Amino acid sequence: MDSEVKLVAGGMVMLGVATSALVVLPYLQLKDVKPAPGLKPYSSAELRGRAEYIRQGCVYCHTQQPRDRAQTPADAERGWGRATVAADYYYDRPHLLGSMRTGPDLMNIGVRQPSADWHFGHLYQPRAYVPGSIMPAYPFLFEIKDKADPGERMINLPPPYEPRGGKVVVARPAAEDLVKYLLALNRSYPVLPAKAASGAAP
């Protein structure tokens, strides 16, 4: 009986330590975080695109957390931008940090690749833009038609990937929202306001 009490007590102590380290301390550190000065709330279209990003499972292959040069020098060398901070995710619910990098980190894809046309084409057929890419194509986010209707987004593809018979590829609303969300992934603003940054130690 005495050993059972010790076992239960030890388990409760370990649970308390783990909860303090993984829940309580991070909460105390981050509860007063405000949005970064250059961060804007997502528009309704960007939020719909974010939901599509989750629905299509993009988070399983892409992270959204470039790491500090001291921790992972390759992130900076790849041009993925500065390391993110908690304030960069103020409007993200849920957070889409990701844990796998089957594909590149997407946090600053809106800076690295600001062309909406590129994103539409890349979603339709990734290998048309990145030879050897293992990313799946998302043709169901598009429609092949005889001609685009007024207001529809027509996608210009490289010659080998164009539809046959003079048809055109048109983005569905889900594709348009998803591209708007990807372009909104821009955390290139300074982490600190200019005055604070100038007074900071090098």
Per-residue pLDDT at 176: 97
User: Which residues of the chain have a pLDDT value below 50?
Assistant: 194-202
User: pTM higher than 0.85 for the full model?
Assistant: no
Per-residue pLDDT at 70: 83
CB contact at 8 A, 102 and 61: yes
Per-residue pLDDT at 197: 43
Domains in the chain, CATH or no CATH each: 44-191 (1.10.760.10)
Contacts 24+ apart (CB under 8 A), 65-69: 65/97, 65/98, 65/105, 65/107, 66/105, 66/107, 66/108
Task: Single out the residue of 58, 111, 55 nearest to residue 84, CA to CA.
Answer: 111
Q: How far is the C-alpha of 190 from the C-alpha of 1, rounded, in Å? A: 60
Q: How far is the C-alpha of 24 from the C-alpha of 128, rounded, in Å? A: 48
Helix (H, G, I), strand (E, B) or coil at 131: coil
Q: What is the per-residue pLDDT across 55-89, written as a single tens digit (0 to 9) for each?
A: 999 999 999 999 888 888 888 888 888 889 889 99
